[in-house]
Amino acid sequence: MGVEMSGNTFGKLFSVTSFGESHGPAVGCVVDGCPPGLALSVSDIQAELDRRRSLIETSLSYRNEPDQVEILSGIFQGRTTGTPIALLIRNQDRRASDFTRIDRVFRPGHGDYSYQAKYGIRDHRGGGRASARETVARVAAGAIARKWLNETYGTVIRGRVSQIGEMVIPLRDWEDATRDNFFLGDRNRVDDVAILLDHFRQSGDSIGCRLEIVADGVLPGWGEPVFDRLDADVAKAMMGINAVRGVEVGDGFAAVGQRGSEHGDEMSPEGFLSNHAGGVLGGISTGQPLVVSVAVKPTPSVHLPRRSVDVAGNPVVLRTRGKRDPCVGIRAVPIAEAMLAVVLMDHALRDRGQNGSVQESRMKAPFFRALA
Amino acid sequence: MGVEMSGNTFGKLFSVTSFGESHGPAVGCVVDGCPPGLALSVSDIQAELDRRRSLIETSLSYRNEPDQVEILSGIFQGRTTGTPIALLIRNQDRRASDFTRIDRVFRPGHGDYSYQAKYGIRDHRGGGRASARETVARVAAGAIARKWLNETYGTVIRGRVSQIGEMVIPLRDWEDATRDNFFLGDRNRVDDVAILLDHFRQSGDSIGCRLEIVADGVLPGWGEPVFDRLDADVAKAMMGINAVRGVEVGDGFAAVGQRGSEHGDEMSPEGFLSNHAGGVLGGISTGQPLVVSVAVKPTPSVHLPRRSVDVAGNPVVLRTRGKRDPCVGIRAVPIAEAMLAVVLMDHALRDRGQNGSVQESRMKAPFFRALA
Amino acid sequence: MGVEMSGNTFGKLFSVTSFGESHGPAVGCVVDGCPPGLALSVSDIQAELDRRRSLIETSLSYRNEPDQVEILSGIFQGRTTGTPIALLIRNQDRRASDFTRIDRVFRPGHGDYSYQAKYGIRDHRGGGRASARETVARVAAGAIARKWLNETYGTVIRGRVSQIGEMVIPLRDWEDATRDNFFLGDRNRVDDVAILLDHFRQSGDSIGCRLEIVADGVLPGWGEPVFDRLDADVAKAMMGINAVRGVEVGDGFAAVGQRGSEHGDEMSPEGFLSNHAGGVLGGISTGQPLVVSVAVKPTPSVHLPRRSVDVAGNPVVLRTRGKRDPCVGIRAVPIAEAMLAVVLMDHALRDRGQNGSVQESRMKAPFFRALA
Amino acid sequence: MGVEMSGNTFGKLFSVTSFGESHGPAVGCVVDGCPPGLALSVSDIQAELDRRRSLIETSLSYRNEPDQVEILSGIFQGRTTGTPIALLIRNQDRRASDFTRIDRVFRPGHGDYSYQAKYGIRDHRGGGRASARETVARVAAGAIARKWLNETYGTVIRGRVSQIGEMVIPLRDWEDATRDNFFLGDRNRVDDVAILLDHFRQSGDSIGCRLEIVADGVLPGWGEPVFDRLDADVAKAMMGINAVRGVEVGDGFAAVGQRGSEHGDEMSPEGFLSNHAGGVLGGISTGQPLVVSVAVKPTPSVHLPRRSVDVAGNPVVLRTRGKRDPCVGIRAVPIAEAMLAVVLMDHALRDRGQNGSVQESRMKAPFFRALA
């Protein structure tokens, strides 16, 4: 749902234009379309950036300073003015020495080869634009969306890791889904996961995971049929996160094995009686919680030998060195939350544009209130 | 990736603007951005429309005429001129009588309630704009994209039903994935599926299914990081199809349980050694087959009694009558193929816009040729 | 301000996608983003189409049937539903015989050569896509915008011919700006103009003219800095009309010779004391009347011999035959009004999207009410 | 032709997203869609920024440091990589003291009132977002477009002041159109203009002017009918520059008084015989020079007393103090050039996207070569 051609803008009315490479001077974004009057400070954004930093990243010596965001525009006397909000995060460590070995080879599972094919040139340092470093910009933008949604509609967006490899982690309590708990949602499983991650760290391999993102307080009526369905834009937002390979809304792939009499959510005067749809029908929100599930592939950089080629087409064997996240998907939790916030805010504003008068009356109708 | 606000346009350079309701005068679309000089006739489009009609639809008395497409513009002496191609398909049967019962109730699993919430008014006849009838327009537009891709790059797009309920159908032969074979890809399983569908038809219930869509002949370099990744736009296109609840690219959710040493596709001078990525790395095509999997929920209209409410909020019990597809996902195969074609053509043209000079040299390099 | 790449869509929230060639099967458009609940019938649109037909067009034998619009979608029980409104106008006369002579030559002052250069193919019949015939679609779309603006905000849009050649026609009364009066705004000058047009008709030549378009009842706050200023989008809309060569807002080019103490509109508690700005400051409407002036070039088709080349590059002499408007700009009045309506509606909705809460309070403030 | 809703992005394929306020931390932009491989350094951009600074600005004590641009992303080893290029220019002087008087009043001729109406809040310091300070971002982006166009197609874009008040300045030599010569294009008139400006400076008043911008080396085939005509996008780009009130392409308003036999440019095997059209027919470039004329209003800030109101609606009298440009339009020359460069580059790339294959053959045809 981005609107310019080269794909670095997401959102139509609330839109985020991202820039920056892993080892260039900075990453950041321009957030356009934010309504005026929202109280916004550096700390609102900084809190989300800190959540994004993985535990491994925090412990790494070469990037041990927190990401400091600077607001360059769009704020006056502590409030948004309706003009673009530019956010800047300097890259603290830009030592290129680590990357001399990868400038002429294509790492398996990375975008090295496809970038080279597309542009005929690539900034190989740390993965350049393809690095997860870029997601700092998304988390920063998402912090604004999250705050506006919460203050305007009471919307709350939460995410967690619901599965790592074969280990399924049922939700115990959303309060447990903190960064220190690997965003698990069950503090009692933290030790299990720590052991599992250590295992992969020591074996030099990595593992995939599944995330669950839920938005409560979504008003009915958000989403634009037919192409810009709310769930379609959510799917795009999630699949656009580095390493994501699958997206589900509501029951997702479980619906393949379900019957219509089971899947279709019945209604009563008090509201819906189930939520197999995950909060979206016909591409438009129903007012029920929006439930999204995401598959994240294992970190492609492993310490095991991997066959590849160099830019001249000669065979090589690669082996990544140094500290690496064995499960890169864990820190995607705040990124997925941020993208969901951006999608929801964009659609809330778009709905107000076309259906502003309906939006008002909608909230006054007793029945919709009951369901919402 | 549509570009206007209300979401009825898909694609940025090759863009499809859809219109029409199930029981209004017509459905259709305006296709903009098609390169000039493509030979295009009604029969090119009609063939795809015929594939889209389900066997049940063909056998139904009330809609037994084929969808006839008319080309209203953009063609001169049998070739595209570069100007918008408007496609019109009249709705043959518009008897509103069948729908008098549903104008004041919300059917479970349908968009009735969410449309009413959003717009405060809805065309309830046959589901109005939310009906799968609208997908005729997408299939018509996809026929153009499919032809252009094939003539320009040799791209071939194929889809099939790979699972119905618990019944998994491995691919035997793409030649078997015809409409008469329920798009199964294994002619030997047609009887099994016919029996299964009869079971659901008789029991009055319905069942979900899984589709597999594959594009061969995708050139490396298509897709725009970071938000408009090729896989992100595919995810949006697929999730934007009626009743789709999940999307996977490559190994999809199976990646949750995979290790990095397994998932990351190794390379050799002869090309990639596997295709876990499904043809996309860093959001950009690699030249390998693009592999997409989609979950379609069971038809929400069932003959069993379902609890719901009317527009005043009173409880009602609904029971759909008449012939219904027990597995609506089967006929989504040509729709998913069409949407994939639109995504690929849009990205091929966008890549040519920004990287036209690279595109040329890319294809001359021996190594990329080997991989492609 | 259109949003897809090939330029046949105008507007972002209220968007019009146009299609059709002069002598193809039809012209028309898809209007997306219209708020639901607007009462809309064929006659609302037909009235504007009839105004667009020039007197000469009406009198011509080969196109003597009125343009009949058909609404294909988006209306239910006489009201808009919020889904796309497709409008279709069949081309009544498509005899290609008249055009056999121009298929291989480039007419001076027409788009023949530039279309051929761009696309390598062109529909030469009647000018194809470059024909003013296409503006039927814009007038049809504008009729919707005009009605919505008037019902929602009381906005009134009027246009007239203020100069033909050297003949300046001051406004006597907007009531006089009817089609029968050549849209002059002074019924006493109709005879003068008729004589002037006869002169050009007989001499085989043509003449340019100037139009004045005014919108009353524009609310303050419409327009998006910095690129999508209200006046910038008006300029694009006007310059995008066939044969328009210049656009002014407010005093326009007269401002070149003005002093700051003269041009800058002073304010008092009762409102602005003048309107040199033409209703826009900083790209945002002030609530004063929006005043636009447009230069239309003389009809390029004249009965005098003109030098040109054929598609092979050989010199030729061309001479148009048959009835022609000697001043094509006259019938651009309803087109310019329509485009202004589309721009205003689009911006009104966009403003509501981002600034919906401000929009409300704005109208309650005594001072803004006085100024508006 | 910007593509997100709030209007801070210009261009669809080559797109510029601008941010920043006059007295905020910085102004800048994100340039997306630039082809990879273009050699680009800070000095390429800095040269244009220096041209933009007016002589009065240079001489002013409070802003006597040059605007220093920093490239934050998108460049690797001195070349563009195809990823977004973020450009940052810090605001050197941000003393708010000068502006305490204008925070509660609306200056005549400025956007103060309309911004307040739209957003309910405004950054009044130096005009905030409405300040011409923002145009630094456009000039920076334009420097990239200018370089790419010149290296790829030999396109040269030049601008000058052709009239100040009643003083018309015919072109003597483009070499004379330097910043030190007030961009006049006639070094012999510099003293006359200096005297005129001194007169207005001393009298405390200001004056409007007219600019002429010409692009040579425009290829035929750029521009997208029907709404995104090349001239329509030029009109939007120019009217979107602060203080511009009118735009002409080719003969512009002079066409009102011309006959068809005079205005329509004849052609011969050697090319066009005149250029009344200004290089655009049917919205598509012809290969002739693109000629644009622009009216800039007088500086609204004058030293003479002006009536206005404060935010509570009380009458006030305002009188600007301190040094001011008496003719603000002079320094708009590099801004208008920059915007023309952005429009042309965007359309060149868009044409390549849809018509890439035609583009190639076009240039090989002897006839088109002769005309181009």
pLDDT of A102-152, one tens digit each? 788 999 999 999 999 999 999 999 899 999 999 999 999 999 999 999 999
Per-residue pLDDT reduced to its tens digit, B203-262 = 999 999 999 999 999 999 999 999 999 999 999 999 999 999 999 999 999 999 999 999
First-to-last alpha carbon distance for chain B, in angstroms, is 26
Residue B322 has pLDDT above 90, yes or no: no
3-state secondary structure of A144: helix
> For the stretch C203-236, what's the b/e string if a residue is b when 16 or more beta carbons lie within 10 angstroms of its beta carbon?
ebbbbbbbbbbbbebbbbbbbbbbbbbbbbbbbb
Which of C295, C281, C198 shows the shortest CA–CA distance to C243? C295
- C99 interfacial to chain B (CB closer than 8 Å): no
Phi, psi at D251, each rounded to 5°: -70, -15
C-beta of residue B108 within 8 angstroms of C-beta of residue B115: no
Measured in degrees and rounded to the nearest 5, phi and psi for residue C116 equal: -60, -45
Q: What is the pLDDT of residues A269-311, one digit of tens each?
A: 999 999 999 999 999 999 999 999 999 999 998 999 999 999 8
pLDDT at B96 over 60: no
**Cα of B340 vs its chain's centroid, Å:** 7
Q: Are D215 and D156 in contact (CB under 8 A)?
A: yes
Cβ neighbour number for residue D40 with a 10 Å cutoff: 20
| The pLDDT value given to residue C367 | 54
Q: Out of D11, D20, D121, whose CB is closest to A36?
A: D121
Is the minimum CB–CB distance between C296 and chain B shorter than 8 Å?
no
Facing B284 at nearest CB: one of A106, A118, A247:
A118
As to burial, measured by CB atoms within 10 angstroms (0-12 exposed, 13-18 middle, 19+ buried), residue B319 is: exposed
Q: What kind and span of H or E run contains C117?
A: helix C112-119
- What type of residue is A56? I
For residue B99, pLDDT beyond 60: no
Q: Work out the average pLDDT over C80-95.
A: 90
Is B81–C15 a contact, with Cβ atoms under 8 angstroms apart?
no
DSSP string, C201-247: HHHT--B-EEEEEEEESPPTT-SBTTTB-HHHHHHHHHHTSTTEEEE
Q: How many residues does chain C have?
A: 372
| Size (chain B), residues | 372
Task: Mention every residue, 6+ apart, whose C-beta is less than 8 A from residue C288.
Answer: C218, C265, C271, C272, C275, C277, C278, C279
pLDDT at C61 over 70: no
For chain B, where are the E strands, in sequence order?
A: 9-10, 15-20, 26-32, 69-71, 75-76, 79-80, 85-90, 156-164, 167-168, 209-216, 244-249, 267-268, 271-272, 280-281, 284-285, 290-296, 306-309, 315-318
- C102-111, C199-208, C316-325, range with greatest mean pLDDT: C199-208
Amino acid at B147: K
Give yes or no for residue D371 having a pLDDT over 60.
no
Q: For residue B320, what pLDDT is reported? A: 83
Concatenated DSSP letters for D306-360? EEEEBTTS-EEEE---S---S-GGGGHHHHHHHHHHHHHHHHHHHHHHHHHHHHH
Q: Which of residues 101-120 of A touch D (CB under 8 A)?
A: 118-120
CA C127 to CA C120: how far, in whole Å? 15
Res D365: pLDDT = 59
**String of DSSP letters for B218-247:** PPTT-SBTTTB-HHHHHHHHHHTSTTEEEE
User: In sequence order, which ranges of A240-296 are alpha helices (DSSP H)?
Assistant: 260-263
- For C123-177, write each residue's pLDDT tens digit: 999 899 999 999 999 999 999 999 999 999 999 999 999 999 999 999 999 999 9
| Residue-wise pLDDT tens digits, D122-133 | 999 989 999 999
Give the pLDDT band of residue C66 (cuts 50, 70, 90). confident
Mean pLDDT, rounded, for D346-363: 89
Cα(B243)–Cα(B102) distance, integer angstroms: 20
Distances (CA, A) of C20 to A147, A267, B9, B71, C83: 46, 46, 18, 10, 22
Chain A positions in Cβ-Cβ contact with residue D26 (cut-off 8 Å): 72-73, 86
Give the helix/strand (H/E) hosting D230.
helix D230-239
User: A92-117: b or e for each residue (b if 16 or more CB lie within 10 Å)?
Assistant: eeeeeeebeebeebbbbbbbbbbbbb
Provide the residue type at A75 as one letter: I
Q: Would you place residue D84 in the very low, low, confident or very high pLDDT band (cuts 50, 70, 90)? A: very high
Report the percentage of chain D scoring pLDDT > 90.
Answer: 82
Position A323 scores a pLDDT of: 75
C42 touches chain B (CB under 8 A): no
What is the C-alpha to C-alpha distance for residues C261 and C139, in angstroms, rounded to an integer? Answer: 40
Label residue D338 exposed, middle or buried (CB < 10 Å: 0-12, 13-18, 19+): buried
C-alpha span between D235 and C346 (Å, rounded): 19
* C239 to C233, C354, D240, D284, D288: CA distances (angstroms): 10, 28, 14, 13, 19
Judged by phi (left if over 0) then psi (alpha if -120 to 50, else beta), residue D2 lies in: beta
Question: Average pLDDT, stretch A264-269?
Answer: 95
What pLDDT does residue D56 have?
Answer: 67
Cβ neighbours of B357 (radius 10 Å): 15
Counting DSSP H helices and E strands in chain D, the numbers are: 9, 18
Give the up-direction half-sphere exposure of residue A301: CA atoms within 13 A in the CB hemisphere: 15
Residue D118 makes CB contacts below 8 A (sequence gap 6+) with A82, C220, C221, C222, C223, C284, C351, C355, C358
Residue C90 identity:
R
- Chain D: residue whose CA lies nearest to B352: D353
Number of inter-chain CB pairs under 8 A, A vs C: 60
C-alpha span between C104 and C106 (Å, rounded): 7
**Contacting residues for A276 by C-beta, under 8 A, at least 6 apart:** A250, A251, A255, A258, A262, A263, A264, A265
Asked whether C116 and C62 are in contact (CB, 8 A), the reply is no
Per-residue pLDDT averaged across D280-306, rounded? 96
SS3 C21: coil
Secondary structure (H, E, C), A219-235: CCCCCCCCCCCHHHHHH
**Residue given tokens 């994501």 in the structure block:** A244
Please say whether the beta carbons of A206 and A324 come within 8 A: yes
Q: What is the pLDDT of residue A369?
A: 56
**By percentage, how much of chain B surpasses pLDDT 70?**
91
Q: What is the pLDDT of residue C318?
A: 92
Token pair belonging to B165: 């309920």
When pLDDT is averaged across residues D224-250 and rounded to a whole number, the result is 97
Angle between helices C135-153 and C332-364 (to 10 degrees): 30
Q: Which two tokens stand for residue B121?
A: 């008014």
Among residues B136, B137, B105, B109, the alpha carbon closest in space to that of B122 is found at B105
**Mean pLDDT, residues D51-72:** 75
pTM over 0.90: yes
B2: pLDDT strictly greater than 80: no
Asked if the Cβ–Cβ distance from B84 to C11 is below 8 Å, we say no
Residue C17: pLDDT band (50, 70, 90) is very high
- Distance, in Å, from the CA atom of A155 to the CA atom of A372, rounded to the nearest integer, reads 12
User: Any idea which of B64-73, B181-190, D9-18 has the lowest mean pLDDT?
Assistant: B64-73
| Number of CB atoms found within 10 A of residue A130's CB | 26
Separation of first and last alpha carbons in chain A: 26
CA-nearest residue of chain D to C255?
A: D297
Residue keyed to tokens 């049922």: A170
For the cut 80, the answer to whether the pLDDT of residue A38 exceeds it is yes
pLDDT of residue B56: 67
Tell me if residue A46 falls in helix, strand or coil: helix
Contacts of D83 in chain A (CB under 8 A): 8, 19, 21, 123, 128-129
Inter-chain touch D269–C313, beta carbons under 8 Å: yes
pLDDT tens readout for residues D310-338: 988 899 999 888 778 899 999 999 999 99
Residue of B nearest to A16 (CA): B227
Share of residues in chain B with pLDDT > 90 (%): 82
Q: Which residue of C has its CA nearest to D349?
A: C5
Contacts of B36 in chain C (CB under 8 A): 119-121
With a cut of 90, say whether residue A94 has pLDDT above it. no
Q: How confident is the model at residue A92 (pLDDT cuts 50, 70, 90)?
A: confident
pLDDT at C64: 59
| Average pLDDT of chain C to the nearest whole number | 92
User: Hey, is A281 helix, strand or coil?
Assistant: strand
DSSP A188: G
As a whole number, mean pLDDT of residues D103-123 equals 93
Q: Are D142 and D48 in contact (CB under 8 A)?
A: yes
Cα–Cα dist A310/A105, whole Å: 4
CB interface of B with A, residues 120-179, below 8 Å:
120, 129-130, 134, 163-166
- Say whether B299 sits in a helix, a strand or coil: coil
Give all chains having 3 or more CB-to-CB distances under 8 Å with chain B. A, C, D
The alpha carbon of residue A35 is apart from the nearest alpha carbon of chain B, in Å, by 17
* Band (D63; pLDDT cuts 50, 70, 90): low
Calculate how close chain D gets to C72, using CA atoms only, in Å.
Answer: 22
Map residue B196 onto helix, strand or coil.
helix
